[in-house]
């Protein structure tokens, strides 16, 4: 059997660990051949590919990013995109695909399966917002990076007795903000799932100053003030209809400074959260996902995604995994509020 592998969407720590696990098990257990398609779904549309052998994946476990590169290409937005994929797979004698990605990449995988192309999905996103799996790899690394940044910011905030607003990733789900904010001892955590009152935020900030502490506010990029609008870096949309968010941290820092009279600064972590070496947890989870994805291909169980349930790796339908985003439940956010201010 000849199997294609691709990584789509934003890069993420642990992608290379999945590729390594897939190739090693596929070759050593099943004697399969592997081809890596470059740049997400663009690869199988254009034929951009490279062979993947044992020597190609030997030393990539600890590397961030993806050796296959990535993109936000949507073949269903390209004229004849699906037929191009069919032709490339036939020309390169590829029998099945393993697609590693988030909601957009796996949404395409689900539609391709419906159109008769055999795909198995592996869940990847630092946002941890993909349905049907308890955790996605990349999330633990992103939270660890954000937490370390918050730890470092505490000392400079205290030194200058100023408020610091830390903007983290999270378009529609606030998992990174919630986990890093709790782990880093933030004074306020703001998530997209719950619109926030600027007056309440200012109250928490002032309470912190009254205790002679400098407040740290962690805000997800998609968080919204009551009656406000998303802060956009640009109005342009990608192939899946997403606009680039950004700016809520700077806006909120200015509001805090104006209303409290205290010095306030914003720190935007941006792509730092998704770069570099994956944590041990993400390496293990990504490896387990890769091993089980090979089993799914061997069983011909296409249209499925490997998922973490408790401590077990199971298979779920791609339709279930992409049906809706996994957002922060209200009760999870409310239990954290006891630490605010």
CB-CB contact of 135 with 22 (8 Å) = no
CB-CB contact of 237 with 137 (8 Å) = no
Return the domain boundaries, the chain. 2-138+278-322, 140-275
Query: Per residue of the chain (341 residues), what is the pLDDT tens digit?
Result: 999 999 999 899 999 999 999 999 999 999 999 999 999 999 999 999 999 999 999 999 999 999 999 998 999 999 999 999 999 999 999 999 999 999 999 999 999 999 999 999 999 999 999 989 999 999 999 999 999 999 999 999 888 889 999 999 998 999 999 999 999 999 999 999 999 999 999 999 999 999 889 999 999 999 999 886 655 454 555 455 545 566 899 999 999 999 999 999 999 999 999 999 999 999 999 999 999 999 999 999 999 999 999 999 999 999 999 999 999 999 998 888 888 97
* Pick among 3.40.50.720, 3.30.70.600, 3.40.50.450, 2.60.40.10: CATH of 2-138+278-322: 3.40.50.450
Check the annotation: does 45 bind a ligand. Answer: no
Res 157: pLDDT: 87
CA distance 43 to 2: 16
Token look-up 């190739």 returns: 23
Residues 6+ apart with CB under 8 A from 135: 128, 285, 308
Check the annotation: does 117 bind a ligand. Answer: no
Check the annotation: does 127 bind a ligand. Answer: yes
Res 245: pLDDT: 64
CB-CB contact of 273 with 263 (8 Å) = no
CA distance 68 to 4: 11
CB-CB contact of 146 with 180 (8 Å) = yes
Res 145: pLDDT: 97
* Pick among 3.40.50.460, 2.60.40.1180, 3.40.50.150, 3.30.70.100: CATH of 140-275: 3.40.50.460
Check the annotation: does 161 bind a ligand. Answer: no
Catalytic-role residue among 11, 114, 127, 299: 127
Of the candidates 226, 248, 238, the residue with the CA atom closest to the CA atom of residue 177 = 248
Res 231: pLDDT: 54
Res 308: pLDDT: 98
CA distance 56 to 67: 9
CA distance 189 to 182: 8
Measured in whole angstroms, how far is the alpha carbon of residue 273 from the centre of its chain? 10
CA distance 79 to 45: 11
CA distance 140 to 128: 9
CA distance 17 to 4: 16
Check the annotation: does 188 bind a ligand. Answer: no
Res 125: pLDDT: 93
Same topology, domains 2-138+278-322 and 140-275? Answer is: yes
CA distance 140 to 144: 6
Res 326: pLDDT: 95
Res 161: pLDDT: 86
Active site residue 31: no
CB-CB contact of 36 with 67 (8 Å) = yes
Indicate the pTM of the whole model.
Answer: 0.91
Distances 29 to 23, 26, 32, 138, 141 between C-alpha atoms, Å: 10, 6, 8, 27, 30
Res 70: pLDDT: 93
Q: Residue length, the chain?
A: 341
Res 131: pLDDT: 87
Check the annotation: does 283 bind a ligand. Answer: no
């Amino acid at each position: 059997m000849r199997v294609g592998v691709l990584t789509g969407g934003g890069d993420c720590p642990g992608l290379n660990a999945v590729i390594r696990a897939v190739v090693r098990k596929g070759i050593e257990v099943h004697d399969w051949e592997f081809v890596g398609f470059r740049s997400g779904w663009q690869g199988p549309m254009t034929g951009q590919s490279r062979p993947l052998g044992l020597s190609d994946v030997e030393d990539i476990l600890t590397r961030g990013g993806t050796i296959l590169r990535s993109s936000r290409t949507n073949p269903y937005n390209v004229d004849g995109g699906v037929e191009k994929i069919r032709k490339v797979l036939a020309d390169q004698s590829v029998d099945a695909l393993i697609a590693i990605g988030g909601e957009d990449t796996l949404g395409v995988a689900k539609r391709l399966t419906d159109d008769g192309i055999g795909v198995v999905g592996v869940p990847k996103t630092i946002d941890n917002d993909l349905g049907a799996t308890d955790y996605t790899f990349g999330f633990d690394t992103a939270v660890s990076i954000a937490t370390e940044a918050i730890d470092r910011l505490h000392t400079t905030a205290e030194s200058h007795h100023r408020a610091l607003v830390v903007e983290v990733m999270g378009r529609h789900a606030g998992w990174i903000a919630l986990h890093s904010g709790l782990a880093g001892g933030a004074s306020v955590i703001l998530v997209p799932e719950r619109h926030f009152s600027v007056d309440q935020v200012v109250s928490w900030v002032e309470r912190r100053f009254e205790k002679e502490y400098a407040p740290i506010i962690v805000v997800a990029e998609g968080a919204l003030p009551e009656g406000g609008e998303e802060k956009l870096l640009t109005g342009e949309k990608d192939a899946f209809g997403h606009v680039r968010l950004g700016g809520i941290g700077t806006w909120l820092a200015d509001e805090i400074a104006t209303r409290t009279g205290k010095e306030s600064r914003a720190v935007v972590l941006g792509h730092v959260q998704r770069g570099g070496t994956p944590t041990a947890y993400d390496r293990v989870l990504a490896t387990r996902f890769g091993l089980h994805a090979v089993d799914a291909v061997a069983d011909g169980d296409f249209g499925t995604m490997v998922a973490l349930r408790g401590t077990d790796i199971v298979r779920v339908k791609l339709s279930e995994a992409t049906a809706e985003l996994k957002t922060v439940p209200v009760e999870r956010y409310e239990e954290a509020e006891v630490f605010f201010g």
